[in-house]
Structure 1
Amino acid sequence: MGTGWRTRRVGVLYLVLAVGGMAGAVCIAFRSDLRVAETAAALLPSVGGLYLSWAAFRADRREAADGYGLDRIADRLAVAVRGQWESEAGVRRLNDPYPLPVSWQTADPQFSESWSLLREMAGDWPSGRSAPPPGWAREPAGLAGTGGEITEVFLERVPTRRLVVLGSPGSGKTMLLIRLLLALVAERAEGSPVPVLFPLASWNPAEQTLESWMAERLARDYSGLGAPESGHADHTGHADHARALLEHRLILPVLDGFDEIPEPFRAMALDSINAALPLGQPLVLSSRVTEYGDTLAPARGVPVKLSGATAVELRPLDAPDIADYLKRDAGGQDTTAAARWDPVIRLLGTDAPVARTLTTPLMLFLARTVYNPRPGEEATVLPTPADLCDPTRFPDTEAVRAHLFDAYVPAAYRPHPRYPCRWSPQQAEHALRYLARHLQHTLGGATDLAWWQLRRALSPRIAQVVTGAVLGVVAWVAATVVGRLTALLAGLDSGWQTGPPAAVVAGLAGGIAGGIGCGIVAGLTGGIAEGVTHVLTAGQLEWLRTALADGPAYGFIGGLVGALSSKLAVRQPAASRPQHRRAWDWRMCALGFTAGAALWFSFRHSYGSTAAAVGALANGAVYAVAGGAVGARASSLSARRPGAIPTVRTRWAWNWRGFAVGLASGSAIGVTHWTVLGIQSLLTGTPSYTFTTMLSFSSAFGLAVGIAHGLAGKPADLTTSVGPAAFLEQDRKIFHRLWMGVGLAVGAAFLLCYGVEYAVRGGIPYGLGRGTTSGQAISMGPLHILNRGLAYGLTVGLAAALSHNAWWHYTLARHHLAAHRHLPLDLTAFLTDAHERRGVLRQLGTIHQFRHIDLQHHLAAPGRSQEPGAAHPPLPSPRSPLPPAREP
């Protein structure tokens, strides 16, 4: 039973629901003797669901038939990797004006296995060699080299092909790895392993194995190799393409930034690398010297070393190479701009602070950006490099470094002859400092700037309120406004309440989307809008009271159902489960009693005060027990609901656990109401719902919640590199497709459940006298059923899309931060410009990072570095205003 079979089962289920909904609509049409046009209108929602399900079913079959072997997938991945890093090398100007001549030497012996042991390890591998290859270095000193020789060192001179690249901060480790990766891809044979660069800063070895983390990065950066855990409905246990490539050793890991793993986890990380990538698996690892040395020789604990690896260490740049590079970047030896560097060049090779600072590629890049003119730019408008030679202003290397970091962002955003910028240097620096602080403080020192994590800067309460309000308005439009328009077009006058109560629909949807808080806000919004509509159009003041009671009641129970089904739909690891749980929540108990009692007491104009009081007590008791028993778990989930991981395609993954949990919890709503009405009927003699009506109601609600938690988008089968902007656009598209797909399925479920009952009984009691000005109960007709399918489909489908996708919460956070002038409103364009045009950010697959971690730390610092002796004005707080953006 592979992936194709599992996804085709979703198509089968959709077919059953769509055909069932169509059968229900046909029964409604013939039972009511509707005209041809009305029959066509009744069948229209089911036709859409039928087409969608059949298209999904055929697409899955076609995909299974056209599947690629792993060798071909690896070949296509290699093309994507090459395109990605050639583009990134251009953006980072690694070859402009020419590649820096970075050189290296053999690292201290403590960082490597003994050379004799390395040769012995490689000779013992089952390769069929009768003698060591002639390319192997005879001793560690043979690993020294410069520039492009790194490929030869890795492929031919290192016997085990396991290499550690060490260096000081900014010494060019990542630049060298990119050159090595591009060379390996260029020399790669078809069907052989693909070198892929993995930034280790985003890996937490205490929570995730190396294999799982690498598979997740591959699936996210190359959208088709498989899906990371996506939302509530993705718990696939099969080996996707990413895992299969890793298991078959068709990925050559290039692990960058070992030093960026937090210090307490480095030894654990190195041990995990040894376990996941055993001897015989080539790999490259980069790290700063001190951090790697501390891991190999810790003050406490057992030393850990990368098995079967040797190490090289990058050397400082030579003075002649620095001078030639600066002059060439300024236009050549005899240009006026190049002559500006003469005072600095005369100090190179000495102990002057500027000479010692410019020995790393990072500082050299900052200096050229600050002081060298661009084509078409006058050098006279720029600061002079001779200022760096002033021993009073720059007494040590730290002062020079701080000055270059301070001047870098304004220099990157100064007016460009070819690329005009929408943001001034002050605006850009303000936004970049906020992002650096967001990474440093909100995300705990992370380096990955992922757009879907920006929601962490937004209060969960704000997200719940806004999401609930949107769902409440959508429910009101679908249940009340569209229902009334449909009734008028059909010549049916049953008041404004042709569709279901907006508060009921909104409360359930809000609970699915955001838990109890979101459910209550959604229910209140939908109820108030519906009640005001009745007051303004029909003068039914009593319905405003009912709608206001509907809101918190259905929002509360919808929040319980939505939050618990969301939580139970995903299997939680034992380590992540809370250790201490409250057995009873008295606050939720009180809230549940108040909401439940107010709901039924509001119907006293229909049932009378005595019956309403009895129903209020019974319903309040049920709500109180539900809130007290499970409210603590549901409310904690509502407040700390994790952000959804973006998705990039519309092929469905089916979560039977989520569907079963949703079906059971959604059905509980109908059973509860039927029980309460039954108790009230026995005590007062008032009418109640029949068992078949309860069954239809429960089945429809259960299917709605189950489908909402049982479907999720999964990545497309395209082995191409996906950037942050494209990833955002893909997630936005899948948001709309999930809305449509889940909405059609939910609508078909309601047509099926209510249509069967209507066909059997010839009518359905329409609740508590709603929809008439006289308060008399009416029977639910075909248009009522169709409006229910529309209202629940549209609103619950939207809730499911909101709960499974990251685009919505990113949009909320972006607008919130722009309103407070922390970040530009068009944040995607700002980040793209900062990467592609300014070089301040770098791009690694679907995430951005600052060009160097030291730049991130500098921007996140609490104060701005100034020249010695100058005033140190405090850096604007994260809440300081961002000036309005300047037009291009």
Structure 2
Amino acid sequence: MASGDGAWWRTVAAVAGLLGLAGSLALVAAVWLLTGDLATTGSAAGLVGLVLAVIPLGLGLWRWLRSSRAEKAPTSTEVSAAADVLAGLALEQWREEARLRSLYDPHPMPVRWRLTERSTLLTDSATTPPEGTVFDAASLVERFRASERRRLVLMGGPGTGKTTLAVQLVLRLLATREAGEPVPVLLSAADWDPDESPRVQDWLALRLDRDYPALRATALGPHATAKLAGRGYLLPVLDGLDELSEHSRAAALTALNHSLGEDSLILTSRTRDFAQAVSQAGHTLTAATVLVPELLTPKTAVAYLRTCLPTSPGPGWERILHEMTAAASPAAAALRQVCATPLGLWLLRAVYVDTGADPAPLLDSHRFPTSAAVDSHLMEHVLPALIATRPHDSGTAEPFRPRRRHDPAQAGRWLGHLAHRLNQPHLSERPRESHDFAWWHLARHVPPAGTGLLCGTVAGLLIGSAIVLALGTDAGLGTSLVFGGGLGTFGMILVVSEFPAWTREPPAVADLRLAGRGHLLLRLAARNVLTLGLVSGALGGVTGTTVLGLMTGGSGGLVTGLAAGLTIGLVVGPLFGLAVGLIKWIETPAPESRANTPTASYRADRRLNLVRITALGLAGASVGAGASGLMAGSLDEVLRAAALGATLGSVLAILFGRHRAWPAYLGTVCRLAWSERTPLRLMSFLDDAHRLGLLRAVGPIYQFRHARLRDHLAAAYERDEPARPHRA
């Protein structure tokens, strides 16, 4: 440890020693003045000395445990091993995502990329390939590895396959990665605020720590992602620069140039937004090659469709394929224009190829005179088509099928509401143009006052009811109601005031697997039981001696108070120490954990909150029952005290916990489900939407598969929602 830390420790020890000495002298003097008996004073002084001796012992043990965990500088072998772990996790993650997106079914979308004609403005011309060079995903990886700086910008309009190519590049780079090569990690650029994190490495470390918690179980410990980012072991693949605000896009370019050094980078953006960022920043991305997609030719689109169709597709498809190349009518020309992008080709496949529907109506020039009409028609029918072609399966073996059957109209309203929410500025933070959906941010998209009041009312009712039950009729019904109502209201106010902080907290890591982690559980439990037990015993002894001594005014009260305080302290401390140790163990990830996903992140935070509520609730029940038993209470009184302790312990577990994203989400989704704007089991529904291919997952964050699909659903919701009645 640093010398400064040692000076801090000596200061605390000196102050604690002086306070302990002063307190012991004052307490012994009080006994002497109250009793005038030397023997009693000596006994009290001995007990107080025993109590006070426990404090430095506990602090010394705590100091020893901290010093045993002193951080060591990681070796290159340890950093390289952590990078290999990250590469394995990322490869597994993106292979699964590629299967869900059907990126290779039956073949990759035939998109080719070329150098932009605006290279003098948007790229460092000294590093670009010859003009006219065209790449597919495989040749682009080879060119990328052969380049000196390895920096690439993928530009294009909406639906042109930027994200798809980014995923393909990540998969190829991971599958062919050699030892020591940087690990490509695909992240949403919309999640980056360059004003708050001007060093992109700092932001990368935070996001990867969230997305890949298993890295904490490597030899690098909790600083694994920071070490990987700082030592150049990461290749950031930032998707969607255009999702940032206009100011943030320019700031991001500046921050990337200042912080990357010799590090590599792949960036995607819409063409117009990247050009604006370059113009506003006054410079482009240093040493980067900028590529744009070539529009799919009718011949290429027809060839791809034939690979998806059966051998004998039927007269309707034969006419469509012929008309697409001939463009003999306005409808055929419109369809050909739609199929010039990967998004349009995917829509046509999902709505007509996979469903087996007759595509002949698409050649009706009265219904579809323009590409916008064709595009709107396909957008309108893609959700019912995906639900129809992927029937539900309650099992988990098939990743392409939802677990539940969904009504297309209802699913469209629910997704439309979320799309509408994402298109609105966040209510609890400065406006940004981020369209990522993190489940723990749901409460930020809804006015927090109403949800906080809902959660506070539930907490207040629990506290008030438990107090009324504990006091019972012995204190009088009126007195019980007054105390219960007052403390319940106080608890409600606490929850309401704390709720905005809940919406800003990230989700937790939680792992209940015991295999290979039993020794960690024993160590954490023993450490917290020992330290909290000793400290609580000492504090309980001093408190009991002081309180009962002042109440009784005699030496008997002092000794009884000391004994009672020691007993309660040495019971309460270990109980809560055991609960704290269990919670810390759950928050420690296992080395074989997978990459974080939205569902896994949600379940982990829910699991941690439930364990914390249960553990502290049981500890509170034990304390309440023990205290009532020491006061010779009846069985009925002991049970009521246990119920009160369990309620207070559970509420305190939420109020003063470190991770409360799940309670904030739960209150918000209950409120939205009551008004029929989302399902009560929202995360299960979103997982099904992901399985259907409507959503994509980047770590624990959901995104709509295409921005145009998100905007279409939001527009449909905003058009139809005012006419629908809702519960108040």
**TM-score after normalising by structure 2:** 0.71
Residue 272 of structure 1 corresponds to 255
Equivalence for 1:805:
660
CA deviation after TM superposition for structure 1 residue 83, in Å: 1.3
Residues 28-64 of structure 1 show CA distances to partners (whole Å, capped at 9, x for unaligned) of: xxxxxxxxxxxxxxxxxxxxxxxxx99xx99x99x99
- Counterparts in 2 of 1:256-655, with a 5 A limit? 256-278=239-261, 280-298=262-280, 302-332=281-311, 335-336=314-315, 338-342=317-321, 344-347=323-326, 352-374=333-355, 379=356, 382=357, 384-414=358-388, 416=390, 422-441=405-424, 443=426, 445-456=433-444, 460=448, 463-464=451-452, 467-468=455-456, 518=459, 520-530=460-470, 534-535=472-473, 540=474, 543-555=476-488, 637-638=498-499, 641-649=502-510
Counterpart CA distance in 2 for 1:179 and 1:726 is 24
Contact kept in structure 2, 1:167 and 1:313, CA below 8 Å:
yes
Query: Secondary structure at the residue paired with 2:179?
Result: coil
Equivalent position amino acid for 2:161 in 1: G
C-alpha distance 523-461 of structure 1, shift in aligned 2 (>3 A): farther
1:796 aligns with 2:649: yes
> Counterpart in 2 of 1:204?
193
| Deviation for aligned residue 1:106 | 0.9
Q: CA separation of 1:303/1:100 partners in 2, compared to 1, >3 Å: closer, same or farther?
A: same
* Paired position in structure 2 for 1:597: none
AA matched with 1:154: F
**CA offset digits 1:471-511 (Å, max 9, x no partner):** xxxxxxxxxxxxxxxxxxxxxxxxxxxxxxxxxxxxxxxxx
| 1:70 correspondence with 2:79 | yes
CA-to-aligned-CA distance 1:799-857 (integer Å, 9 cap, x gap): 32564233333334334433332223333332222112x21111112122111112111
Pairing 1:80–2:89 present: yes
For residues 554-600 of structure 1, the C-alpha deviation after alignment (integer angstroms, 9 at most, x for no partner) is: 3566678x67xxxxxxxxxxxxxxxxxxxxxxxxxxxxxxxxxxxxx
Q: Which residue of 1 aligns with 2:144?
A: 154
Give the Cα–Cα distance (whole angstroms) in 2 for the partners of residues 182 and 841 of structure 1: 19
Kept after mapping to 2: 8 A contact 1:703/1:746: no
Q: 1:176 to 1:639 in 2, by over 3 A?
A: closer
- Residues 184 and 235, structure 2, Cα contact 8 Å, conserved in 1: yes
Match of 2:206 among 188, 210, 216: 216
The AA in structure 1 aligned to 2:92 is: G
Q: Distance in 2 between matches of 1:368 and 1:698?
A: 70
The answer to whether residue 174 in structure 2 is matched with residue 185 in structure 1 is yes
> For residues 557 and 457 of structure 1, what CA distance do their matches in structure 2 show?
27
Specify the code of the residue in structure 2 equivalent to 1:176. Answer: L
The answer as to 2:706 corresponding to 1:716 is no
Return the letter of the residue paired with 1:851.
Answer: R
d(CA) in 2 for partners of 1:305, 1:705: 59
Determine which of 580, 583, 602 is the counterpart of 1:728: 602
Q: Distance in 2 between matches of 1:69 and 1:350?
A: 64
- Secondary structure of the structure 2 residue equivalent to 1:195: strand
Measured in 2, the distance between the counterparts of 1:642 and 1:699 equals 35
CA distance in 2, matches of 1:276, 1:239: 23
The one-character-per-residue Cα deviations of 1:176-222 (angstroms, maximum 9, x if unpaired) are: 11111111111111343211101112222233443333222212221
Quick one: distance in 2 between partners of 1:706 and 1:208? 38
> Kindly tell me: are residues 203 and 340 of structure 1, through their superposed partners in 2, closer, same or farther at Cα, counting changes over 3 Å?
farther
Q: Pick the structure with more helix per residue.
A: 2
Kept in 2, the 8 Å contact 1:647–1:715? The answer is: no
Task: Quote the offset at 1:333 in angstroms.
Answer: 6.4
- Secondary structure of 1:312's match? strand
Assess, with a 3 A threshold, how the Cα gap between structure 1 residues 637 and 416 changes in structure 2: closer, same or farther: closer
User: Secondary structure at 1:431's aligned position in 2?
Assistant: helix
> What SS does the corresponding residue of 2:361 show, helix, strand or coil?
helix
Residue 97 and residue 460 in structure 1: after superposition, are their counterparts in 2 closer, same or farther (change >3 A)? same
How much has 1:154 moved relative to structure 2? Answer: 0.9
Equivalent-residue separation in structure 2 for 1:413 and 1:394 (angstroms) = 25
**CA deviation profile, 1:363-384 (whole Å, cap 9, x unmatched):** 110111111134xxxx3xx3x4
Once the two structures are superposed, residues 393-414 of structure 1 have per-residue CA deviations (whole angstroms, 9 ceiling, x without a partner) of: 3343333322222222122222
Q: CA deviation at 1:304?
A: 3.4
Cα pair 1:319 1:348 within 8 Å, conserved: no
Judged with a 3 Å threshold, the aligned counterparts in structure 2 of structure 1 residues 877 and 330 are, in CA distance, closer, same or farther, namely: farther
| SS of equivalent to 2:335 | helix
Instruction: Confirm or deny: 8 A CA contact 1:258 1:285 kept in the other structure.
Output: yes
Is contact 1:319-1:349 (8 Å) kept?
A: no
Q: Which amino acid aligns with 2:163?
A: T
Matching residue of 1:842 = 696
Distance 1:715 1:798, change over 3 A: farther
Find the aligned partners of 2:299 and 2:154 in 1 and give their Cα distance: 24
Give the conservation status (yes or no) of the 8 Å contact 2:617–2:649: yes
Q: Residue 111 of structure 2 is aligned with which of 88, 102, 106?
A: 102
1:245 aligns with: 228
Structure 2 CA distance for partners of 1:340 and 1:350, relative to 1, 3 Å: closer
Per the alignment, in what secondary structure is the counterpart of residue 363 of structure 1? helix
Q: Deviations over 1:732-786 (max 9, x none)?
A: 32223323554577678x69xx99xxxxxxxx9x9xxxx9xxxxxx956799899
Distance in 2 between residues matched to 1:877 and 1:442, nearest whole Å:
20
CA deviation map 1:443-466 (0-9, x unaligned): 465322222223346664555555
Deviations 1:601-627 (A, max 9, x none): xxxxxxxxxxxxxxxxxxxxxxxxxxx
Contact 1:326 1:341 in 2 (8 A): no
Match of residue 140 from structure 1: 130
Q: Structure 2 matches for 1:735-884, cutoff 5 A?
A: 735-742=609-616, 779=631, 791-792=644-645, 795-797=648-650, 799-801=652-654, 803=657, 804-836=659-691, 838-861=692-715, 874-877=719-722, 880=725
Instruction: Report if aligned partners of 2:228, 2:234 keep a CA contact under 8 Å in 1.
Output: yes
- CA 1:346/1:779 → structure 2, altered by over 3 Å: closer, same or farther? closer
- Decide whether aligned partners of structure 1 residues 287 and 355 sit closer, same or farther in structure 2, where only a CA change above 3 A counts: same
How much does 1:691 deviate? Answer: 9.2
| Counterparts of 2:664 and 2:277, CA distance in 1 | 39
Secondary structure of the residue aligned to 2:720 is: coil
- Report the aligned-residue RMSD: 4.9
Q: Does 2:98 correspond to 1:89?
A: yes
Q: Matches of 1:700 and 1:812 in 2, distance apart?
A: 37
In 1, the alpha carbon distance for the partners of 2:701 and 2:721 equals 26
| Aligned-partner SS, 1:875 | helix
Provide the C-alpha distance between the structure 2 equivalents of 1:527 and 1:741, rounded to a whole number of angstroms.
20
What is the letter of the counterpart of residue 396 of structure 1?
T
User: How far did residue 78 of structure 1 move?
Assistant: 1.1
Q: Does structure 2 retain, via aligned residues, the 8 Å contact 1:78–1:185?
A: yes
8 Å contact kept, 1:413–1:428:
no
User: Which amino acid in 2 is paired with 1:259?
Assistant: D
Q: Secondary structure at the match of 1:876?
A: helix
